[in-house]
Amino acid sequence: MLELKNYIAKRDRLQKILSSIRVVLSDFNLKSKEESVKADFHRLDDEKFNLVVVGEFSRGKSTFVNALLGRRMLPVSKSPTTAVISKIIYGETSEYIVHYKSGESKTVSESEFNDIKAKSEGDVLSLDGLKDKLKALVKHQEKLDDIDFVEIRYPLPLCKNNVEVV
């Protein structure tokens, strides 16, 4: 935690210096340079640390993330389960927001989030049953393909200092 406090102190000091530089640039009417310094100032404010967990299907990524966070945030199963990218960030209250590739977003309940998962193949015995199952899988996949990612907001201490778990 000491390293984080040192980083925050250094970041704050750098932001004060950047503010002073902006005043000087403004005095000399150097607008483009002033805007560049302003952008750097805001980038420091918005800085995030991304912890990205990747791996093959059904290899324990969700189980690992749940253990890391100390709470079951992601559904787990022996078969492929988590079908979309999930970004866990700090929030004062629990919230699940589905972000679509179209740019739209929608807040859903935890149970609705848990329904956004990979469909299992199951046992299919008849040709008609196989056709129906295939149609259902294609329709389900089309819906999944519309989703860019799901943002999960939760008051987790690990995520409080701009840490995002993906």
pLDDT band at 78; cut points 50, 70, 90: low
Contact 114, 75 (CB under 8 A): yes
Report the pLDDT value the prediction gives residue 68, as an integer from 0 to 100: 81
| pTM, rounded to two decimals | 0.65
CA dist list (Å): 103 to 27, 106, 165: 40, 10, 21
Is the pLDDT reported for residue 43 higher than 70? Answer: yes
Q: Which helix (H) or strand (E) holds 151?
A: strand 147-154
